[in-house]
Structure 1
Amino acid sequence: MTELRHESGAIPMFHEYIEAWGTHRTDRVLAFFADECVYENLARGEVYRGKDELGAWVAGAFAGIPDTALELTSLFASGRWVGCEWVMTGTHTGDLPDLPATGKSFSIRGATVAEVSGGKIVRAADYWDLASFLRQLGVMP
């Protein structure tokens, strides 16, 4: 059997990264990213470059969904790449861009593909179903 080789510590680091979302602290989430990172939120067609842009987005997400929780359901790594599936839950009690607070709870599945270098995430892309999220919030049939 051939063992997959991956950046040392990538899997434990990614477990900690997913757990950081549950702290609701932007600084804890950003600690896992390289200064010149690129983050893509593919469901919304958004790209954030660098920790400043990413930090503004993460802070906004926590403001809109202050009880955000992520549960890791699968995780793998190969070389510099890490992939995982997760379930995000929360209650939309604050405003998000173009989406006033609904007070409704949601549960959505998603996946992250990330490139890790030097123990930091240098590039990450999140894939999730925006339509399912909007239906659960009652803003889309």
Structure 2
Amino acid sequence: MSDETDLIRRYFAAFNAGDADGMLALVSQDVSHFPNQGELRPGKDAFRAFLAEMDRAYSERAEDLTLFEGPRGRVAAEFMIHGQYLQTQDGLPEATGQSYVLPVGSFFDIGGGRITRVTTYYNLEDWLRQVGG
């Protein structure tokens, strides 16, 4: 296992532990975050705010994680997200504790021993169907 895949495994271990600080310790100050169906959120502070909002509205766990190494500095991840929708987010259906399971792909750039880009994709229509939207 390369240092880069180890970094991403640690990122997902922190994610699964609900450890936002642990995740933040692995990203660069100028991380570029591209969430599914959303606009670029540049910088660690924006990523911190995103994680806080996710922690408020969802409880999630990444399972069946598979990592793919690309050229130096690039790692992709495929996994199943098992989640529960806890608090309603603007523009989304009302949260009533609905459970969902979705295949997800995430893509990472790495530089200087830190994650410099996080891009995540999943099927929003499938999620909406599962939570009753």
- Paired with 2:26 and 2:88, the residues of 1 have a C-alpha distance of 26
RMSD (Å), alpha carbons? 1.6
Alpha-carbon distance in 2 for matches of 1:52, 1:115: 18
> How far apart are 1:90 and its partner, in Å?
1.2
Q: Which residue of 2 aligns with 1:51?
A: 44
Give the gaps of 5 or more residues in structure 1.
1-5
Q: Matched residues in 1 for 2:64 and 2:40: separation?
A: 23
What TM-score do the two structures reach when normalised by structure 1? 0.85
Q: Is 1:108 matched up with 2:122?
A: no
Larger Rg: 1
Task: Please point out which of 48, 55, 68 is paired with 1:76.
Answer: 68
Contact 1:61 1:96 in 2 (8 A): no
- CA shift at 1:57, angstroms? 0.8
The answer to whether residue 102 in structure 2 is matched with residue 98 in structure 1 is: no
Task: Name the aligned partner's letter for residue 46 of structure 2.
Answer: E
Count the aligned residue pairs: 131
Q: 1:72 Cα shift?
A: 4.2
Q: 1:76 and 1:111 mapped to 2: Cα distance?
A: 11
Give the letter for the 1:71 counterpart: E
What code does the residue aligned with 2:86 have?
T
Distance 1:77 1:130 in 2: 26
SS of match in other structure, 1:68? strand
1:2-41 correspondence to structure 2 within 5 Å: 9-41=3-35
Q: Is the 8 A contact 1:20 1:28 kept in 2?
A: yes
How far apart are the structure 2 equivalents of 1:97 and 1:14?
30
- Write the distance in 1 (CA, Å) between the matches of 2:109 and 2:119: 9
Fraction of identical pairs, as percent? 26
Distance 2:45 2:117 in 1: 15
Amino acid in the other structure paired with 1:112: S
Other-structure match for 1:126: 120
Match of 1:17, as an amino acid?
Y
Task: Name the SS of the counterpart of 1:121 in structure 2.
Answer: strand
| CA-to-aligned-CA distance 1:25-76 (integer Å, 9 cap, x gap) | 32122111100010101x32221100111111111011111x3101243212
Q: Which consecutive unaligned segments of at least 5 residues does structure 2 have?
A: none
Change (3 A) 1:22 1:97: farther
Question: What is the identity, as a one-letter code, of the residue corresponding to 1:83?
Answer: A
